[in-house]
Amino acid sequence: MGHDLSKYIDPALFNTDSADSKISQRISTIAPNYNSGDLDASSDTLTLIPKLLEQSEEKLRSNDYEACISLLQRASNLGSGLAAAKLGFIYLHGLQDSSTEPPSFKYIIKPDYEMSAEYYFLSLKIINLIVYTLWDMSLLLEVIVSVTDLYRYKFDRKDELWNNGLEILKLFNTTLNENQFVKFQTHENNQIRNAIRVHILFIFALTHELDRKFSDAMKIYHECEKIGQTTVSFSADKLVKKSHTNYRILQKELDKQTPNVLPICTECNFKPKNTAEVWGLLVCSKCQQAACCSRQCLQLHLTNDH
């Protein structure tokens, strides 16, 4: 950290004045009417949150990292989704000190992926408490992109934290799919919406793949492909291509696992109508050459043919 802030901190999160940043000037908070810009002078929360965010940036520039963290924690506790997102970013990448001569680049704060996930999930919870007409779509995309990286590289299926995170993502996916939500958005926001959905769906597909539910994973990867290139998010567009690749890898894996038997019940001649019914057939463990549609048929096969 220190002299070259962009090397350690994403300017999209910390520098709202950047000309290259597409992050909205609006700050997500559960405080009512904050995003509209109409600040109520009688409300301490409405006036305190922007002050805390401003002070945190000042502390960051002066290399007072502990104070920066403390201020962001206070702001996130008051309901600032942006402050929670900043904390998520800090714990994802860590903070290094480059203020000394020569720069030591020692970690002031080491990466803590569980802590990062907790703050990102907190940011999503705060955003979800706001009526969706006031959502900062660019901020939401930034959070989801980082959450995707956490699930891709640090995901622990046994940890309840990550499973709770999946439930939060399901809530967003449902809202983003609502017709009313789509109608409300501008063309650019709908492209951002598509990018967010690609990331969320990729996470769902990834978890199915880890659970070895390959058919379910393939369906979702295919859905990512159907959304297609978004033109507003390089990371989402890469995931669309990755979904295409993963789909075909899983298809080959399923082909290897597919029993080399005729997909028709050997006892009642039941013929599956779709892939799900094919995978519902029971293959005889003794001969490995007969498929049955039910345990009853399998028992008849075992009795009559073995």
Give residue-wise pLDDT tens across range 121-170: 999 999 999 999 889 999 999 999 999 999 999 988 788 999 999 999 99
Residue 30 confidence (pLDDT): 46
Nearest to 165 by CA among 124, 128, 132: 124
How big is the chain, counted in residues?
A: 306
How many structural domains compose the chain? 3
Q: 222: domain range?
A: 154-257
Residue 73 lies in a domain: yes
Same domain, 72 and 172: no
Residues 27 and 68 reside in one and the same domain:
yes
124 inside domain: yes
297 and 270 both lie in a single domain: yes
| 143 lies in some domain | no
d(CA 200, CA 93): 21
Cα–Cα dist 61/1, whole Å: 9
Does 274 share its domain with 234? no
Are 223 and 304 members of one domain?
no
Q: Taking the chain (306 residues) in consecutive chunks of 10 residues, what is each chunk's mean pLDDT?
A: 31 38 40 40 67 92 90 92 95 83 78 95 94 92 96 88 95 95 91 97 95 92 94 95 95 74 89 84 86 92 84
Structure tokens at 55: 């002070």
* Whether residues 117 and 219 fall in one domain: no
Q: What is the pLDDT of residue 287?
A: 84
* 217-245 CB burial, b ≥16 within 10 A, e <16: bbbbbebbbebeebebbebbbebbebbee
| Residue 30 CB neighbour total at 10 angstroms | 17
**Residues 12 and 110 grouped into a single domain:** yes
- Of the chain, the end-to-end C-alpha distance in Å amounts to 72
- Cβ within 8 Å of residue 214, ≥6 positions away: 208, 250, 253, 254
Query: In a 3-state reduction of DSSP, which class is residue 107?
Result: strand
CA dihedral 235, 240, 245, 247 (to 10 degrees): 130
What's the pLDDT at 21? 37
What value, to the nearest 5°, has the Cα angle with vertex 36 and ends 119 and 50?
50
**Rounded Cα distance, 117 and 151, in Å:** 9
Q: Model pTM?
A: 0.73
Residue at 133 is within a domain? no
Q: Residue 263 is which amino acid?
A: P
Would you state the pLDDT for residue 235? 95
Alpha-carbon span 146 to 137, nearest angstrom: 14
> Are 103 and 181 in a shared domain?
no
Q: Tokens for 129, please give them.
A: 């408490």
State how far the Cα of 85 lies from the Cα of 119, in Å rounded to an integer. Answer: 6
- pLDDT given for residue 221 in this prediction: 96
Q: Which residues contact 136 (CB under 8 A, 6 or more apart)?
A: 23, 24, 26, 27, 28, 35, 81, 82, 127
User: Which pLDDT value is given to residue 3?
Assistant: 27
Within a domain: residue 145? no
Q: In this structure, is residue 136 part of a structural domain?
A: no
Residue 160 counted as domain residue:
yes
The verdict on 10 and 41 lying in the same domain is yes
> Locate tokens 């597909």: which residue?
205
How far apart are the C-alpha atoms of 194 and 187, rounded to whole Å? 11
**Distance between CA atoms of 128 and 274, rounded to whole angstroms?**
37
| C-beta of residue 199 within 8 angstroms of C-beta of residue 239 | yes
pLDDT at residue 20 in the model? 34
* 167 and 226 together in one domain: yes
Q: 148 in a domain, yes or no?
A: no
96 secondary structure, DSSP code = E
- Token code pair at residue 7: 């090397």
Q: Look at residue 87 in the predicted model and tell me its pLDDT.
A: 96
Whether residue 182 is found in the same domain as residue 297: no
User: Residues 235, 270: one domain?
Assistant: no
Task: Give the per-residue pLDDT at 253.
Answer: 81
pLDDT tens digit sequence for 69-89: 999 999 999 999 999 999 999
